[in-house]
Structure 1
């Protein structure tokens, strides 16, 4: 499974919890209320465990967690 699909599946199943399904890569996760600050922490934990990528405190910024696409771009740069 590709990384975009894995991120989308995690957000839909663990963070959106019925608020939204069929999340698109460019959907704004924060402004649409799909994730909040706790969701970002859960997402960081998932990324570190699933992809073995260290997410530093300075990496936890809006630009990196705004959408699945921005997350994927951030992870590609790591």
Structure 2
């Protein structure tokens, strides 16, 4: 993983990848209608590229990507599991 995953950096990736203003860390981005399934795939791809992790499709849980805070936790966990 390239660097530590944090809220501000993840919000910036959200904004850059989706051309949307990033919500507060605990806003449910799916329930709020900020992203759809295609945007979620785009966001996951950008997070994988930025943090050099892979989100395994077989264990993908949408709930892990509902908020910026949950995304940070998920990507941080994946980063610890990814061999360097």
Mark the structure with the bigger radius of gyration. 2
Q: Which runs of 5+ in 2 are unaligned?
A: 79-84
Q: Structure 1, unaligned stretches of length 5 or more? A: none
The count of aligned residue pairs is 75
Match of 2:10 among 4, 7, 10: 7
RMSD: 2.0
TM-score, structure 1 as length reference: 0.79
Runs of 4+ in structure 1 off by over 3 angstroms are none
Instruction: Report 1 or 2 for greater relative contact order, CA contacts < 8 Å, sequence distance ≥ 6.
Output: 2
* SS in structure 2 of the partner of residue 54 of structure 1: coil
